Structure 1
Amino acid sequence: MKTLNALFKEMSEVESRKIALVVGNEKYSYFDLDKAADLFASDLIDRGIQPGDHVGIWSFNSANWLIAMLGIIRAGGVAILGNYSMTYPDIRDLFVMTDIRYLCYGTSLATIKMEGAVEKMCEELKLTDDKVVDITAGHVSFLDRIGETPKNKAQIDQIAERPEDPTRDAVVIFTTGTTSLPKAVLLNQNGFMISAKAMSETRKDIYGAKACVGLPLFHVFGLNMILAYFHLKSTIYLEEKVSAERMIETTAKHGITDLVTVASVYLQIIKHPDFSRIAGLVHVLTTAGGLLTPVQYMKLETSFTDAKLFNEYGQTEMHGLISLSPTDTPIEKRAHSLGKAYPGEEIRIYDEKQKCFVETGEIGEIIVKDDSQLNSYYKLPPEKQAVDADGWLHTGDLGFLDEDGFLHMAGRIKDIIIKNGENISPVDVETAVTQIDGVSEVKVFGAPHPIFGESVECCITLHDGIDFDEETVKKSLKKTLTPAKIPSHFFVFPEFPLAPSGKLDQRGLKLLMLRKLRVEVVKDELEKGIVVADLTVKNTSYNIMPVTSMVKELAYSMGYGSRRVREIVHAVEEMLMERIINAYEEVGDIRIRIIFCQEWMRVEFSDSGNEYYIEKNKDTSASAKIILKVVDNFATMRSEKRGVYYCMDFLYEDDFSIKDFIISHDREVK
């Protein structure tokens, strides 16, 4: 079994001068990182740290953050990784829960928003000055001390030589479980090494020499990916604060070929005005922490000139990795699955009710067995631990294995909302909303979101006579909740539905919420226009029947009267014939799009033929008269992307609601 200490010692000897880590203006070679970790460990020993002592890290990403974690482990301590985006009360409670005896602090969201946050933390945790270490980037740099000799080197080496060192408690990462209470996951060096090696061995033929990592180090995925690249002697460019703009700039400036971040950042990257700077440069994209739909997956990968996207599946309890796709897996397979077990690991699907494993293709709970399992949940009794008596770790996720051994996700047993890769407890949000004056009942759900994976949605009832101002409430919640936890929408109900037993009917309430949410989504979509049909009339036959039949069917279903339907269909026929006859030699294929807008149904035509003008009181051709008599608006439009296209708009009937029509015909909400 190998330790993190042994990995960096080996890298320090084999690749001593090669750059391992670049953060901002700081560059650390493998030798520098190894030496800095020893220096930090020695400093902690001078401060009185004892084996097993818990040491909190509370800071944005930095070189000092990574050095502190490595140094804590080398000194025999346990690194408690604090979330830098948490509010002060939340991070304080987690540090109290995990009994930290030392604190390494830098800049965090709480220290920016709250003056004196560090001093207050030390006071509440009863930490004296000798138990507190400043690791703020820019204030402290270990590059200035590389020439020093760690005076406690013998003790550091002695700790590393202990037989129990690879598997002892080394790191705590916080997660959220089915009970919606924070859990402190105790992890070990051996587990990190197994996961990182599995990743690096699988990807060694495709991973490049430089990787830009846009992930928080307190997240197991961020640590796992950094260690995987270190296994391959690569250079990590670590973002202090993650954004699409920063990652594009870093990648373009340093000629980086590999990107590692969450799906939402990738989606922002491909939409960024400067995306073209890196579209042909990047060859490997790695993400985790949330599922991409197959369409999103393929769109993301094909937006780059020549890149492969890998969406890894893992959990904190498995040191960040459960399954991954072999490098040569086709995009269609990667887009629809979560990959396979790595060598030495076993993945099975379990039916909790029947107490048995299920057959290939059947859905059940995903359970895993491997030496990379967590040590335990800190302070939780045996019955609340994740690993059962037979050594299987229960993920709480539903899935199935196909005949090729690829794992597919089928949902989550847990109620936890996963937004942008972050686990959000509904109870935390409900507790905060309940404290708002006038709110009677609160229930929070996750809902599918095209970018973040899930959004936070809040259902409430109010006390009699109370008016609800959503924007005021959201502003108030910023004082107690992180931005990710603030609900996207609030839905006010006169009362919550109850089950026959008298308990809250959660399933029924969620269904009502999803319908209300769909109304809000449709409202936003109608502002842009919803394309419901995209057809092409080929120039080989110019068969217009499919188009006119589609228009006729839609018009009838939308409540237009028989006479109006005939007029609409006639106008569409005339427009098609006008393009075919008068621009026959140039027109080519004709593309027709039918679009629902807020006030009218639009039929768009585009082709490569001569430009066509219709103006009232000027055009006297038979087709122009028919079209102008029927349409409520006709326009010739131009854009750089689409060229010239023609729009025919037909106002809806007075008693027709396009929103109700879309929702009643929507298969997404059942």
Structure 2
Amino acid sequence: MTQHRFIADQALSVSCGLPLGDEAGLGALTLGGFLREVTAQYCSREALIHSRPDGTTERWSYADLWREANAVAKALVACGLAHGERVGVLMTNRPEFLSATFGIALAGGVAAPIGTFSTAAELGYLIEKSAISTLLFERTVLKKDFLAALAELDTRVTEATPHSFASLRFPFLKTLVMVGDGACGAVQDWSAFLAAGNAIAEASIAARAAAVSPADAGVLFFSSGSTALPKGIVSSHRGVTLQMWRMGPQQGLSDGVRSWTANGFFWSGNFAMIVGGTLAKGGTIVLQRTFQPADALALMEAHKVQFLFAWPHQWEQLIAAPNWAEVDLSSLVYVDETSPIARHPTVEVDWIEPRHCYGNTETFTLSAAYPAQTSREEAAESHGLPLPGNILKIVDPLTGRTMPLGERGELAVKGPTLMLGYLGVPLADTLDAEGFLRTGDGGWLDDAGRLHWEGRLNDIIKTGGANVSPLEIDEVIRECAGVKVAQTVGVPHDTLGEIVVSCVALHERAQVSEEDLRSHARTRLASYKVPRRVLFFAPEDLAVTGSNKIKTSELRRVAAERLAMQT
């Protein structure tokens, strides 16, 4: 069955997916309902496997995940969580991330995942912006100590008690709960937090979950946009769960699939793809808290992983791992036949990944796609057809006028997974008069209704699968004494897609080195945002437009040429 149709006037650049009601394979459209349905169907199956730091292995069935999610829900109710209140989840991919996210939904709250790459300064901004009332967090991630970071942001975190905590900096934050040893001050231990919910009746949670509507706010994810700081993007339960039900069929995953990723579930694509795609198929998620290539290969071998979700730069690290040649990866099925992973001597695949796709956090991942196993001939060089319920159009970036079919312009999208809005921005200021989101991305539609995405019109850098705002980086670089002008661009890279390169002009006689600027950036920015390189220019060498803005396209070209010459 075709998955799209044109509107009556095919002379315009508009392409429509099938009506949402015609889409097969969908279930409950709330997060709590999703978990209830998959638990009822796959109750005794293994939902997740987690290798603890002490070397032991933790395994949860679907029934275990349901029980633990309900325990979190009861604990939140005991803390006084109201309908629609936001709860921060600052954790790696571990069992508690999943029980927390589903538990928040069952209790009627809104889950707000926070990236574990966050520095103290970024964490402060995200807590303020999200207005969370509760923060569920993991204490240590690699070299980061988030308890110390919170104490740095507000000393009352370690000075107050759990029942007397009140923050002037974070006026809505009232409850702090930590996974890991060392809880103190206002911070509760995870087990004590759960124990406080024992008095809450199961019927109370069931009633709350039943009162949640698919149209209600379900999650708050953050994504770097065209502004200097991350945007808070609120999605409905329906928007999130539609994508969770879709991802298994989109990837062509089989019943009981065993999946692995080390990419954080605080990014919408990873959450929809791995959590949704796996659980909707009754499969098992093999969790890895942080990406360690040799350990990842060992996990894949030990737990017979079939589907791995990694970025190209991680493929290179897997291949370079010391145990690459020895591990048995014969269980892998869902690896593209052209991937470097497919060259492993134990891997035999004929799978074609669904690379022809397009999406944004604002649409909770995909809005256009072809499913796995679509031939190169059918998909051509496109980025897919609109998914059910979606409408894509190409407009003039200046006037908003819909372009004639085949002409280039800005991509606009609307559909059932479109966000409820950005935090702090009226929806009317975000959507056009017809309810479309102007994405800032360029492209065109062909006469088969396929989208051809041609890159970003707003200069956002995509590095290793993450979106990075140049404005955010420039703001940090300009804090350094001696910096006159800073303009960050993305330079093409074979495995990362793009690398972050800051182009800097210094004040006369200023003495600032590349390492000085990178060291400062590391104190303020997540690791993937820190410039890989800093290039120095004379102020007059930074070409500007008539409105005195730097010509980023020209600067990107010059930066790439200079790096190539240095190499």
Q: Same fold (TM over 0.5)?
A: yes
The answer to whether structure 1 residue 357 and structure 2 residue 402 are counterparts is yes
Judged with a 3 Å threshold, the aligned counterparts in structure 2 of structure 1 residues 517 and 327 are, in CA distance, closer, same or farther, namely: closer
TM-score by length of 1: 0.69
Q: Which residue does the alignment assign to 2:107?
A: 75
Aligned residue among 22, 40, 49 for 1:13: 40
Judged with a 3 Å threshold, the aligned counterparts in structure 2 of structure 1 residues 205 and 443 are, in CA distance, closer, same or farther, namely: closer
CA contact (8 A) 1:215 1:222 kept: yes
Q: Which residue does the alignment assign to 2:175?
A: 132
- The number of residue pairs the alignment matches comes to 508
- Structure 1 Cα separation of the partners of residues 449 and 361 of structure 2: 23
Aligned residue among 348, 359, 378 for 1:305: 348
- Structure 2 Cα separation of the partners of residues 504 and 228 of structure 1: 43
Q: Which residue does the alignment assign to 2:310?
A: 261
Which ranges of structure 1 fall in alignment gaps of 5 or more residues?
287-296, 525-670
The answer to whether structure 1 residue 429 and structure 2 residue 480 are counterparts is no
CA contact (8 A) 1:211 1:257 kept: yes
Q: How do 1:216-615 and structure 2 match up within 5 A? A: 216-225=264-273, 226-276=275-325, 277=327, 280-285=330-335, 298-300=338-340, 303=343, 305-306=348-349, 307-311=351-355, 312-331=357-376, 336-353=381-398, 355-385=400-430, 387-496=431-540, 497=542, 499=544, 501=546, 503-507=548-552, 511-512=554-555, 514-524=557-567
Q: Which residue does the alignment assign to 2:76?
A: 44
Q: Which has the larger radius of gyration?
A: 1
Q: Quote how far apart the aligned CAs of 1:84 are.
A: 0.8
Q: Quote how far apart the aligned CAs of 1:344 are.
A: 3.0
Judged with a 3 Å threshold, the aligned counterparts in structure 2 of structure 1 residues 475 and 133 are, in CA distance, closer, same or farther, namely: closer
**3-state DSSP of counterpart to 1:336:** coil
Q: Which residue does the alignment assign to 2:137?
A: 105
Q: Which residue does the alignment assign to 2:4?
A: none
CA contact (8 A) 2:491 2:556 kept: no
Q: Quote how far apart the aligned CAs of 1:281 are.
A: 3.2
- Structure 2 Cα separation of the partners of residues 43 and 500 of structure 1: 56
Q: Quote how far apart the aligned CAs of 1:227 are.
A: 1.1
Aligned amino acid, residue 457 of structure 2: I
Shifted more, 460-469 versus 266-275: the winner is: 266-275
Q: Quote how far apart the aligned CAs of 1:55 are.
A: 1.4
- Structure 1 Cα separation of the partners of residues 150 and 142 of structure 2: 9
Q: Quote how far apart the aligned CAs of 1:278 are.
A: 5.0
Aligned residue among 213, 223, 231 for 1:165: 213
**3-state DSSP of counterpart to 2:369:** coil
Aligned amino acid, residue 175 of structure 2: V
Q: Which residue does the alignment assign to 1:187?
A: 235
CA contact (8 A) 2:487 2:550 kept: no
Q: Quote how far apart the aligned CAs of 1:245 are.
A: 2.6
CA contact (8 A) 2:226 2:469 kept: no
Q: Quote how far apart the aligned CAs of 1:334 are.
A: 5.9
Judged with a 3 Å threshold, the aligned counterparts in structure 2 of structure 1 residues 245 and 409 are, in CA distance, closer, same or farther, namely: farther
Q: Quote how far apart the aligned CAs of 1:49 are.
A: 1.2
Q: Which residue does the alignment assign to 2:61?
A: 29
Aligned amino acid, residue 19 of structure 1: E
CA displacement, residues 269-322 of structure 1 (integer Å, 9 cap, x when unaligned): 344454453554322148xxxxxxxxxx94547535314323343211112221
CA displacement, residues 228-284 of structure 1 (integer Å, 9 cap, x when unaligned): 221111111122112433322211111111111223213433444544535543221
CA contact (8 A) 1:64 1:141 kept: no
**3-state DSSP of counterpart to 2:111:** strand
- Structure 1 Cα separation of the partners of residues 95 and 124 of structure 2: 24
Judged with a 3 Å threshold, the aligned counterparts in structure 2 of structure 1 residues 481 and 333 are, in CA distance, closer, same or farther, namely: farther
**3-state DSSP of counterpart to 2:386:** coil
CA displacement, residues 483-535 of structure 1 (integer Å, 9 cap, x when unaligned): 2222222222222345474714424xx535633542332442xxxxxxxxxxx
Q: Quote how far apart the aligned CAs of 1:415 are.
A: 2.2
CA contact (8 A) 2:75 2:194 kept: no
Q: Quote how far apart the aligned CAs of 1:423 are.
A: 1.7
- Structure 2 Cα separation of the partners of residues 32 and 77 of structure 1: 21
Per residue, is there more helix in 1 or in 2?
Answer: 1
Q: Quote how far apart the aligned CAs of 1:453 are.
A: 1.1
- Structure 1 Cα separation of the partners of residues 458 and 122 of structure 2: 21
CA displacement, residues 550-591 of structure 1 (integer Å, 9 cap, x when unaligned): xxxxxxxxxxxxxxxxxxxxxxxxxxxxxxxxxxxxxxxxxx
Aligned amino acid, residue 37 of structure 2: E
**3-state DSSP of counterpart to 1:435:** coil
- Structure 2 Cα separation of the partners of residues 135 and 114 of structure 1: 9
CA contact (8 A) 1:339 1:406 kept: yes
- Structure 2 Cα separation of the partners of residues 65 and 114 of structure 1: 16
- Structure 2 Cα separation of the partners of residues 408 and 67 of structure 1: 39
Aligned amino acid, residue 419 of structure 1: T
Q: Quote how far apart the aligned CAs of 1:96 are.
A: 0.7
CA contact (8 A) 1:180 1:416 kept: no
- Structure 2 Cα separation of the partners of residues 216 and 34 of structure 1: 21
- Structure 1 Cα separation of the partners of residues 330 and 393 of structure 2: 39
The answer to whether structure 1 residue 84 and structure 2 residue 122 are counterparts is no
Judged with a 3 Å threshold, the aligned counterparts in structure 2 of structure 1 residues 154 and 220 are, in CA distance, closer, same or farther, namely: same
- Structure 2 Cα separation of the partners of residues 269 and 66 of structure 1: 26
**3-state DSSP of counterpart to 1:221:** helix
CA contact (8 A) 1:243 1:265 kept: no
- Structure 1 Cα separation of the partners of residues 446 and 321 of structure 2: 37
Aligned amino acid, residue 39 of structure 2: S
**3-state DSSP of counterpart to 1:487:** coil
Aligned amino acid, residue 79 of structure 1: A
Judged with a 3 Å threshold, the aligned counterparts in structure 2 of structure 1 residues 124 and 53 are, in CA distance, closer, same or farther, namely: farther
Judged with a 3 Å threshold, the aligned counterparts in structure 2 of structure 1 residues 335 and 115 are, in CA distance, closer, same or farther, namely: farther
CA contact (8 A) 1:105 1:118 kept: no
Judged with a 3 Å threshold, the aligned counterparts in structure 2 of structure 1 residues 217 and 137 are, in CA distance, closer, same or farther, namely: farther
Q: Quote how far apart the aligned CAs of 1:113 are.
A: 4.9
Aligned amino acid, residue 162 of structure 2: D
**3-state DSSP of counterpart to 1:347:** strand
Identity, in percent, stands at: 24
**3-state DSSP of counterpart to 2:64:** helix
- Structure 2 Cα separation of the partners of residues 127 and 233 of structure 1: 44
**3-state DSSP of counterpart to 2:368:** coil
CA contact (8 A) 1:456 1:487 kept: yes
- Structure 2 Cα separation of the partners of residues 7 and 382 of structure 1: 28
- Structure 1 Cα separation of the partners of residues 40 and 560 of structure 2: 58
CA contact (8 A) 2:535 2:559 kept: yes
CA displacement, residues 650-670 of structure 1 (integer Å, 9 cap, x when unaligned): xxxxxxxxxxxxxxxxxxxxx
Judged with a 3 Å threshold, the aligned counterparts in structure 2 of structure 1 residues 333 and 473 are, in CA distance, closer, same or farther, namely: farther
Judged with a 3 Å threshold, the aligned counterparts in structure 2 of structure 1 residues 335 and 239 are, in CA distance, closer, same or farther, namely: farther
- Structure 1 Cα separation of the partners of residues 543 and 329 of structure 2: 52
- Structure 2 Cα separation of the partners of residues 512 and 472 of structure 1: 22
Q: Quote how far apart the aligned CAs of 1:204 are.
A: 4.4
CA contact (8 A) 1:419 1:455 kept: yes
- Structure 2 Cα separation of the partners of residues 473 and 204 of structure 1: 46
Which ranges of structure 2 fall in alignment gaps of 5 or more residues?
1-27, 52-56, 164-173, 183-188
Judged with a 3 Å threshold, the aligned counterparts in structure 2 of structure 1 residues 415 and 152 are, in CA distance, closer, same or farther, namely: farther
